[in-house]
Structure 1
Amino acid sequence: MADEQYEVPDSTAVRVALWRAMHVQIDAEPHLFEDEIGLHLVAPDEEWRSRQDMDPRGTSGFRASTVARARFVEDLVAEQVGHGIDQYLILGAGLDTFAQRRPETASRLRVFEIDQPATQAWKRRRLIELGYGIPDRLRLVPGDFEAGGDWWQQLSDAGFDTGLPALVVCAGVTVYLTKETVAATLRRLAGLAPGSTLAMTFMLPAELVDDADRAELEATKPRARASGTPFISFYAPQEMLALARAAGFEDAQHVSGTELAHRYFAGRTDGLRPSSGEDLLVATI
């Protein structure tokens, strides 16, 4: 019991899990992404929807961005499985629930989730408590990109095969890492086997964010700092593409938040749309 007090999930991971659930509970159908398992993992008190960061209107853009990137990622997973990829690596996995929500697809993959040790220990315990367990094809790997230590070796020890192609996803993470760490991570991933694909989100600097979203983005910065997860790194699209190419990726493409909005939100009549501050890098080896 003494150890459990130190097993706490990262606050940003909890927020994302709750936004996913809110999308199902309060946004009009069709839902882009259905995930209430994260909510059950967190098991917040009955007043959780009254939290400041759960305001239905004030945070709708962030909520929409969260489910848009999740939908993009899982569309990419389905595509890559169709191409024969059988290793799926999630960097900064947080409370990702792919393995629990999509057991049929997950059974065709070895899924490796890497995140901070406290978050991983807590998640492992909660999955067991809720009856999901930890199937052999799901590996929860503790690792901290900024704190030193060889997370790559930990991944290998968990059974990840660097000689085989993989799909790697890193969503909602780079803004919390230094640019040096992001560049080092890209160099490491560029050494994966040919046929591997990386999807990585990144935050735009304020001057590249749409006028309608800039004020809200700026307002979140002090709140993120106060919660212990300050925003650190922002990238213009060309800067991120240049980093990926310099790291050794053969091809690097930019997928804008605007493109995701057109792809997933066209025709909606409820006004739900993603904020414009987060874009995607999709790179291949």
Structure 2
Amino acid sequence: MLVGRIVLLNWSKLKSDILYRIGETAAMHDKENTVPDHTAVRVALWRALHVQIDSPPHLLEDEIGLRMAAPEDEWRQRPDMDPESTSGFRASIVARARFIEDLVTEQLGQGVTQYVILGAGLDTFAQRRPEIASQMRIFEVDQPDTQNWKRRTYRWSFAAKRRGIPDSYYIEKTAYNSI
């Protein structure tokens, strides 16, 4: 089932299939990036801004991406964080994420046990919903630079095992034009 950029699949060899398709393209791009993609950061900050300035009830409680991105202190003064001019974008981002998370939870009840997030950016589903993530294999797929940064940052800043993140959580990287 394809919903937006999120794919829910139920196959047993997903990781090996992804790694086969990625092949040497990902290895060529396996460099240490010091910053994630700007769009990924912007979406994470909008999700945090939703919690910080929009009236409750919040569709999504997500400030983990904000901690991961660790923006400068004045991040809310950035033009792309203006509360009024970005309200529509913010609403779209959090509504889509909530819809997908509800769908994933529903599909888990139907026997779907693998969740692939294409263009994952700084998605935090597995970190925020370990009770669901522990019952699924979750694959986050994105550009190599963003995923390298996320893998490195996540390991050091969140200590996955202590946060209840299961062994079935994978951060994969690919150059989309190679798929």
The TM-score with structure 2 as length reference comes to 0.78
Identical columns (%):
64
**Structure 2 residues without counterparts, runs of 5 or longer:** 1-30
Q: Specify which structure has the higher proportion of helix.
A: 2
> Do residues 80 (structure 1) and 102 (structure 2) align?
no
> Do residues 52 (structure 1) and 52 (structure 2) align?
no
Aligned 1:54-69 pairs, distance under 5 A: 54-69=81-96
Q: Does the 8 A contact of 1:100 with 1:132 survive in 2? A: no
- Counterpart in the other structure of 2:131: 104
Q: Which structure has the larger Rg over C-alpha atoms?
A: 1
Q: Could you tell me how far apart the structure 2 residues matched to 1:143 and 1:135 are?
A: 22
User: C-alpha deviations, 1:185-231, integer Å up to 9, x for none?
Assistant: xxxxxxxxxxxxxxxxxxxxxxxxxxxxxxxxxxxxxxxxxxxxxxx
> Do residues 38 (structure 1) and 57 (structure 2) align?
no
Residue 45 and residue 7 in structure 1: after superposition, are their counterparts in 2 closer, same or farther (change >3 A)? closer
User: How much does 1:136 deviate?
Assistant: 1.8
User: How much does 1:70 deviate?
Assistant: 0.5
- Counterpart in the other structure of 2:52: 25
- Counterpart in the other structure of 2:167: 136
Aligned amino acid, residue 90 of structure 1: I
Q: Could you tell me how far apart the structure 2 residues matched to 1:45 and 1:73 are?
A: 30
User: How much does 1:135 deviate?
Assistant: 4.1
Aligned amino acid, residue 71 of structure 1: R
Q: How many residues align?
A: 145
User: C-alpha deviations, 1:43-71, integer Å up to 9, x for none?
Assistant: 00110000010000011010111001011
Q: Does the 8 A contact of 2:134 with 2:166 survive in 1? A: no
Q: Could you tell me how far apart the structure 1 residues matched to 2:111 and 2:99 are?
A: 19
Q: Does the 8 A contact of 1:117 with 1:143 survive in 2? A: yes
Q: Report the 3-state secondary structure (helix = DSSP H, G, I; strand = E; otherwise coil) of the residue aligned with 1:140.
A: strand
Aligned amino acid, residue 62 of structure 1: F
Aligned amino acid, residue 111 of structure 1: I
> Do residues 123 (structure 1) and 154 (structure 2) align?
no
Aligned 1:188-227 pairs, distance under 5 A: none
- Counterpart in the other structure of 1:15: 42
| Higher RCO (C-alpha 8 Å, min separation 6) | 2
Q: Could you tell me how far apart the structure 1 residues matched to 2:137 and 2:159 are?
A: 16
Q: Could you tell me how far apart the structure 2 residues matched to 1:16 and 1:76 are?
A: 20
User: C-alpha deviations, 1:167-188, integer Å up to 9, x for none?
Assistant: xxxxxxxxxxxxxxxxxxxxxx
Q: Could you tell me how far apart the structure 2 residues matched to 1:85 and 1:53 are?
A: 37
User: How much does 1:129 deviate?
Assistant: 1.2
User: How much does 1:132 deviate?
Assistant: 3.1
Q: Report the 3-state secondary structure (helix = DSSP H, G, I; strand = E; otherwise coil) of the residue aligned with 1:141.
A: strand
